[in-house]
Structures are given as C-alpha cells and as structure tokens.
Amino acid sequence: MTANEAPVIEIRDLHKSYGQLEVLKGVSLSAHRGEVISLIGSSGSGKSTLLRCCNLLEDSQQGEVLFKGEAVRWRGHGLGRHPADRAQVIRIRTNLSMVFQQFNLWAHMTILQNVMEAPVTVLRRDRHEVEEAARGYLAKVGIGDKCDAYPAQLSGGQQQRAAIARALCMEPTALLFDEPTSALDPELEQEVVKVIKALAEEGRTMLIVTHDMRLAADVSDHVVFLHRGLIEEEGAPDTLFGNPRTERLRQFLSATAPA
C-alpha cells in the first residue's frame, strides 16, 4: 500500500433503515489494501447489514460508499435511494466477493462447477483457464479431491471451504465474510478458520463479520465493535480485547468469553 493509495472500501456516515427501523445510524470505516478488519457485536447491532451495504446488496439511505476512491452514484433520496449505475454496481460486486453464512452452493452442480460458474458466466473468462484456476483454489482450501462431488455429499466445513474457493476464483480485490463459521460445529469451524488465517497471512484485503473473538483477535489488523447501529469502539485487536474502554464492550466480551 502506498501513502496516497485510496482505501479498497470506504464507508462515510452510512445510514440504513428498514422502514421505520434504523439499523445503521452513521457508520464510517475504511479498509486499505492488505488490511483485515473484523466487525463484532451482538445480534442486531448492524454488522451484517453494514457488510451487505459495502457490497451493494443493500441500499443505504444516507452516506457514501467508495470502492478504490470511486464513489457509488445514487439516484433518489431516503428510502427511495438506489444506485444510479447498474454497470458500476456489477463491477464493484465482482471485485468484492462475498462468503455467506449458509454457503449458498448450487445443489445441482458439482463443487467444481459451483466454483467455475460466476467467472465463466459473469466475467466471460475462458472456461479452460477458469477450470485450472478453480481446481487450484479448491486444492488451496484443502478439498481438491472433491471437485466431482455435489454439495450434499460434503460436510458443512467442506461446503464453506468450497464457497471460499468460489469467492477466490473471481480474483476479487477484497473478500467479505458474513459469519463464515457460525453454522458449523466447533470441529468443522476450525477447518474454515485455518483457511481464513492462511488468506490473512497472504495479505488479502478482508472484512469479516464474526462471532468468533479468537478469530478476530488472530487475523485482524483492526476490529470494529458495533452497538445499536453505531461504532461503540474500534482499534487494534490487542488494545480492543486486552483493554476495552467502554462498559458495553466489556460486557460483550465477558458474555462471549469461552467457558
């Protein structure tokens, strides 16, 4: 990262409502190239909504979303505000690959076909080149032998690793993880944590919504604690977890500490 390089993702004073319910009340954050940011907080704090607003899967009502210094162009105001340029939205989304909690693999396709589908159909990349890359990414996440299997034949941890390989195959600028381990039992969870840690060590730009405080502490450059739609506290993981400043964060960490 150079001194003058714009953040990969920048959010400025973002507000998001569902009707009368205001979920985000003015949130600002930025993720520079190679930076790992974890978003933590109680259920309903707005962290997954914030991630979806970054990827333009949700429309926000106020504030700015920028990708590598380029601001999303909007049409309308308030609850009627929507992105004005669909081509811009598609370009940004293809550079911000999302990994969901529930895997979202296509049941009728093999694992290899799942990983290849978007690069071939959305990016129009050469099928043979994509297949080579897909096999490489599946091997990278430890399931190179599952190319011809179907999702139902894989464990939850294997399915989530396939979803990560699918995201990587888009060759994105950044990866967005929405609770990537919360649907898994502890043993399978560690399979996925290992992959995410390896990606962090490679210097990939990542935003991670997680309930796993150990993962956030181990992989993050910066941790953001959201509470009731606002950033209550943020900082380096050693500081945030080791010396929380606010009573609300102390309560949260106490409640999420391993028994």
pLDDT tens digits for 66-94? 999 999 999 999 999 999 999 999 999 99
- pLDDT score, position 114: 97
The CATH code of the domain that includes 164 is: 3.40.50.300
Is residue 32 in a domain? yes
Residue 184: which pLDDT band, with cuts at 50, 70 and 90? confident
Which structural domain, as residue segments, surrounds residue 72? 9-256
Q: What are the pLDDT digits (tens) for 93-132? A: 999 999 998 888 999 999 999 999 999 999 999 999 999 9
Is residue 53 in a domain? yes
- Is the pLDDT at 30 greater than 90? The verdict is yes
* pLDDT, the chain, mean: 93
How many domains does the chain contain in total? 1
Is residue 146 in a domain? yes
- pLDDT score, position 33: 95
Higher pLDDT, 230 or 187: 230
- pLDDT score, position 102: 85
Cβ-proximal residues to 176 (8 Å cutoff; 6+ apart), any chain: 51, 54, 55, 96, 97, 98, 99, 206, 207, 208
Residue 186: which pLDDT band, with cuts at 50, 70 and 90? confident
- Is the pLDDT at 224 greater than 90? The verdict is yes
Q: What are the pLDDT digits (tens) for 188-203? A: 888 899 999 999 999 9
Is residue 202 in a domain? yes
- pLDDT score, position 5: 87
- Is the pLDDT at 259 greater than 70? The verdict is no
Is residue 1 in a domain? no
- pLDDT score, position 68: 95
- pLDDT score, position 82: 95
Mean pLDDT for the stretch of residues 211-215: 91
- Is the pLDDT at 2 greater than 60? The verdict is no
- Is the pLDDT at 3 greater than 60? The verdict is no
Is residue 2 in a domain? no
- Is the pLDDT at 163 greater than 60? The verdict is yes
